[in-house]
Structure 1
Amino acid sequence: MSVSSNETGNALLSVRDVAKSFTMHLRDGVILPVVNDVNFELFAGECVVLGGPSGVGKSSILRMVYGNYSIDSGEILIRDRVSGEAHDLGAGDPRLVLDLRRDCIGYVSQFLRAVPRVSALDIVAEPLVSRGVDRTVAAEKAAGVLNRLHLPEALFDLPPATFSGGEKQRVNIARGFITDHPILLLDEPTASLDAANRDVVISMIREKLDAGTAVLGIFHDQPVRDAVATRTIDVSAFSARRAA
């Protein structure tokens, strides 16, 4: 589904009246509500932080915006910066979700899901290759980002399965930052990093913002949040359990 730019204004992301619950099939179909009436917009060049205590639905909102979680109701509108056309990712069309991930939405999750026998360099380069970039060019750019994040070059050609947590996360960050997606989702990207690499990521986020990328993130690391946030949304206001 697509809508006109007049309906979405200049927002790259518009989340409208979204609700989400989980059905616990192993517990007699008990329905566990997560969020209700989620409404916000995300604009180019801003970093919006999803705040609030653990369990209110911050990561769930990120996963809904990326299409990992279906929604019960509402709309998640992603606007194409070139055409101005907005597409409803929340409608659940699998082909649309894949297209939007390729062209519009980057994502750094909390943990790297390493593909067996695929090297760190190839994992980072893959988002560029999928968009038609020459493999050699993509590998060179991937090496540059990994070097910036201080990943030892001896690890570039190895699968990340046996890497440390911090090394895996640097591969994860490099993969998410290597493209020029207009929207970038960050789920605690610095949680397992040392101070030096945390500062590198702060610089990388600022560069994205300067380039007009719209960033939506969760940062439990207060110094990172203070350094990059342009505004904060308290997800407690949307939590379906706030009255509990």
Structure 2
Amino acid sequence: MSTIPSPAGEALLSVDGVAKSFTMHLRGGLRLPVVRNVAFSLRAGECVVLGGPSGVGKSSILRMVYGNYAVDEGAILVRDAGTGAMEDLGAGDPRTVLRLRERSIGYVSQFLRAVPRASALEVVADPLVRLGVGRDEAGARAAAMLARLNLPEALFDLPPATFSGGEKQRVNIARGFLTDHPILLLDEPTASLDSANRDVVVAMIREKLVRGVAILGIFHDEPVREAVATRILDVSRFSARLAA
């Protein structure tokens, strides 16, 4: 994947004045505000951790930045790795969202959503194949990543639907870390892992930071958070619920 580097010190992600609410259609259209006036930026080599108690909107912010949730107001500007221009992902244009996901923003969610009957190796290699990497090379790189995360080789060719929670999470992490997206979103990536594999993931995060990747994440595992965070952003200040 060919990328245009960002000028030194310029933001790869800029969130400005973002607000989000949900409409409860089964409750007569009740509007439930979640966050408002969300504003922060993310630069190359930073690991910004979204902090604060449960329910303040951390996951909602992460999902808005990935384009899963539309914003009510404000802008989410993402630097397009192909052109170097800042694109407004928050505007919700599907083509913009898909283009930015393809080459600018990677995402590791808490839960693996895999294609039925696809093997673990195919699930992990798929993002590289979509970027034009040959299947043999993509498979070899996927296998190396799974091996680093201590997934037994006997599981490589099996569909991950029957894997344990920790095994599924390792497949998910391998898939998200295999590509070279300049921005990486992490939603509690170590929640189901044992201490040995948590250490592996911490090392992988640090390697990404050294290479200039900008990381935005949620880490409830305090030792992991302390090991990787360059800055903690308290989301409580944006919470519409706490302010209500």
The two structures have a TM-score, normalised by structure 1, of 0.95
What is the one-letter code of the residue matched to 1:16?
Answer: D
User: Hey, what does 2:134 align to over in structure 1?
Assistant: 134
CA drift at 1:180: 0.4
CA distance in 2, matches of 1:19, 1:178: 32
Q: Could you list the per-position Cα deviations for residues 65-114 of structure 1 after superposition, in whole angstroms to 9, with x for gaps in the alignment?
A: 00000110100000135643100000101011111001000000011112
Aligned residue number for residue 183 of structure 1? 183
C-alpha distance in 1 between matches for 2:84 and 2:96: 16
Partner of 1:200: 200
> Which string of whole-angstrom CA distances, capped at 9 and with x for unpartnered residues, describes residues 104-153 of structure 1?
00000011112210111011001101111001100000000000000001
Distance 1:56 1:124 in 2: 32
Q: Is the 8 A contact 2:24 2:32 kept in 1?
A: yes
Name the counterpart of 2:98: 98
TM-superposed deviation, 1:207: 0.2
CA contact under 8 A between 1:12 and 1:81: conserved in structure 2? no
Supply the RMSD in Å over aligned alpha carbons.
1.3
Structure 1, gaps ≥5 residues long? none
Please name the residue that 1:170 is paired with: 170
Scaled by the length of structure 2, what TM-score is found?
Answer: 0.95
Q: How does 1:63-142 map to 2 (within 5 A)?
A: 63-81=63-81, 83-142=83-142
Alignment length (residue pairs): 238
Identity %: 76
Cα separation, 2, equivalents of 1:91 and 1:143:
37
Distance 1:18 1:243 in 2: 16
Distance 1:218 1:238 in 2: 16
Runs of 4+ in structure 1 over 4 Å off: none
Contact 1:75/1:91, CA 8 A, preserved across alignment: yes
The 8 Å contact of residues 62 and 185 in structure 2, kept in 1 or not, is answered as yes
Counterpart amino acid of residue 66 in structure 1: Y
Deviations 1:157-184 (A, max 9, x none): 1111000000000000000000000000
Contact 1:45/1:214 (<8 A) preserved: yes
Contact 2:80 2:100 in 1 (8 A): no
